[in-house]
Structures are given as structure tokens and as C-alpha cells.
Chain A
Amino acid sequence: QKEVEQDPGPLSVPEGAIVSLNCTYSNSAFQYFMWYRQYSRKGPELLMYTYSSGNKEDGRFTAQVDKSSKYISLFIRDSQPSDSATYLCACSSGGSYIPTFGRGTSLIVHP
């Protein structure tokens, strides 16, 4: 079992929809959780970063962490075609701070 599991998709939604992207993890030592957006043939861009359980909101993006079920989510409201990209979740522990990545979910927002 991989430490961070993520459905690769693709996930196709109409413009304006609410998107829910999810990951599960197995390492209970993970305390830091990140979401990255990666456009085709580009490096990942940090979108959201949270510590421990709870919610964090930034504009149209909300990151949610449930440590009890080892489940992390990213919600995108009012999705736009420019949101079409691969979204990678990443987790790290307080010891190494080295992130472990999921394989990414491909999101397509069509007009």
C-alpha cells in the first residue's frame, strides 16, 4: 500500500461546479498536508498547506484534513477552465518535513 493514495481521474466537470479532490494516507506520523497544482509540462505550484486537522480557506479553495480517518480534501468552488490541471496532495511528518506525494488527480473543467 502506498503511503499516499490518490485517484488519478480524470475528473471532468462543467464550469461553475464545485470540485472535490481527495487523498487518503496511511502514515499516522504525517502532520503537514499540502495541495499542489501542476499544469502540463510544468513544475507543481503550492496551493494550500495545512497543519494537523481542520479547514483552511483561500479564495475559491478550501483544504480539509481529517486525521482520525486519514483523509484530506481540496474543494474548488466556482470552478473555471483555467483550473484544469493535475492536483497533487502531499503529506509530511514533523521529523523529516520531506513531502510524500500522491500520484495526482487530473481535473478537466469544460466551458
Chain B
Amino acid sequence: GAVVSQHPSRVICKSGTSVKIECRSLDFQATTMFWYRQFPKQSLMLMATSNEGSKATYEQGVEKDKFLINHASLTLSTLTVTSAHPEDSSFYICSARWSRGSTEAFFGQGTRLTVV
């Protein structure tokens, strides 16, 4: 399967600071990338969908000013958690697919964010 690399795998930051998470498709061009949040023993909660070159589409209840998503190239999308608070602590996962008509999405390794 295709490889999606997510970095960092783990980050600890102080309240009020911003954290950037990168998601790269290593061996294919990703026209669409998804960002998810996952709480312990819970399902993946879709936060936003981003298509290369256009603004991300956020799911209801997700603050776009707090979770900034950039998909500037076909191989890179970033999620920036701005002014992080302890309640933002979670497991964030990206996934990518190579065409809008593709049902197969490949996931990154996830990023464990802890805000102290």
C-alpha cells in the first residue's frame, strides 16, 4: 500500500503555544487529505477534508481558526493547533488518497499531542 508519513509522532507543548503537525504522502500524489482526532477507545472523528490548492472543509463543531489546515502541495498537508489548551490533548491522524473518486485512504502513524 501507499505510504503516508506523519511527523512528529509525539509532542508535548505548553498551554497557549501552537503546534504544527505534518502529513506527507511519500510515494503518491494526494489530491485529498483528511485530518482526524481520536480519543481513547473511540472512533476516528473527522475534523476536516483538504483538497490540494483549496481551503479545507471543516466538519461541524471544529473551529477553523483553532485548527489551521494547509494543503499547499500534492504531497504535504499541515495541521496547526493554535493557542493549545489541555483539552486539545488527543491523538491526531491524517490520511490521504490519490484521487477524489478513490475510496482507499492511507493513514499516517498519528501524533500524540499533550498540552500541559
Contacts and interface: CB of A to CB of B under 8 A. Distances in A.
A6 B1 CA distance: 25
A26 to B, nearest CB: 15
Interface residues of A, number: 24
B36 to A, nearest CB: 8
A43 B109 contact: yes
A41 B110 contact: yes
B67 interface: no
A31 to B, nearest CB: 9
B44 A8 contact: no
Given A34-B103, A46-B106, A98 B44 contact: no
A4 B105 CA distance: 18
A14 interface: no
Contact of B102 (A4, A88, A97, A102): A97
Contact of B44 (A44, A46, A49): A44
Contact of B43 (A34, A45, A102): A102
A74 to B, nearest CB: 16
Contacts of A88: 43-44
B44 A97 contact: no
Interface string A34-47: 10100001111110
Contact of A98 (B42, B49, B104): B49
B91 interface: yes
Given A49-B103, A101-B43, 15 more contacts: A8-B41, A41-B110, A43-B4, A43-B110, A49-B104, A97-B97, A97-B100, A97-B101, A98-B34, A99-B105, A101-B44, A102-B43, A103-B42, A103-B43, A104-B43
Interface of B: 1, 4, 6, 34, 41-44, 46, 49, 91, 93, 95, 97, 100-110, 112
8 contacts: A4-B43, A34-B104, A41-B91, A41-B112, A43-B6, A46-B1, A98-B46, A101-B44
